[in-house]
Amino acid sequence: MPLRPARCYTHFTSPPYTRKEYIAGVPPPKITKFVMGNVKGKFQYIVELIAKEAAQIRHNALEAARVIVHKYLSTRVGENNYFFRVRVYPHHVLRENKMMAFAGADRLQDGMRLAFGKPIGTAARVFPRQVILEVRVNKEHIDIAKEALKVGASKLPIPTAIIVKEAKTT
């Protein structure tokens, strides 16, 4: 398996740690908005960024992808010509057993004894073929939406694919 950025928290084997009512000190997710663009617009095509493998995406990586995709679309297409949505939410709480790294630190900490860890952030768990980001546009803006999702995918720690579908009209 090739090494990728954020490999400390990308892969998971344990059950999700999500019960925030029992966890003290969970930092809020950095992602601020999940829906952007023209919410009430009718668009012909849906361009989706999907995950190719199961992984965890940290909340700051999701926010970085959201910011760059939104900026790319708003400058090239215009605010009223697209609808953009982040389709995953960072529910899983990440923990870290912080270790001190200075002279004499071995007398101040317990090592792996009671190494449950303190909350340091949140992450979204995704599975293969799950949609991470979604952009709705008309036919003339499909290529720009694909390019925006490609730029946004570079901020994520997993391999992704871009799929274009026709929107169902109701």
pLDDT tens-digit map of 68-113:
999 999 999 999 999 999 999 999 999 888 887 777 666 667 778 8
Report the C-alpha dihedral over residues 157, 54, 149, 7, rounded to 10 degrees. 0
- Can you give the residue ranges of every domain in the chain? 25-166
Q: What is the pLDDT of residue 70?
A: 96
**Which residue do the tokens 């190719």 mark?**
52
Domain 25-166 has CATH 3.40.50.970: no
Q: What is the pLDDT of residue 154?
A: 95
Whether residue 17 has pLDDT greater than 50: yes
Q: What is the pLDDT of residue 105?
A: 65
Q: What is the pLDDT of residue 6?
A: 52
The number of residues in the chain equals 170
List strands edge to edge, sheet with 45-51.
Answer: 35-37, 83-86, 131-137, 45-51, 160-166
Whether residue 65 has pLDDT greater than 90: yes
pLDDT tens-digit map of 105-158:
666 677 788 778 889 999 999 999 999 999 999 999 999 999 999 999 999 999
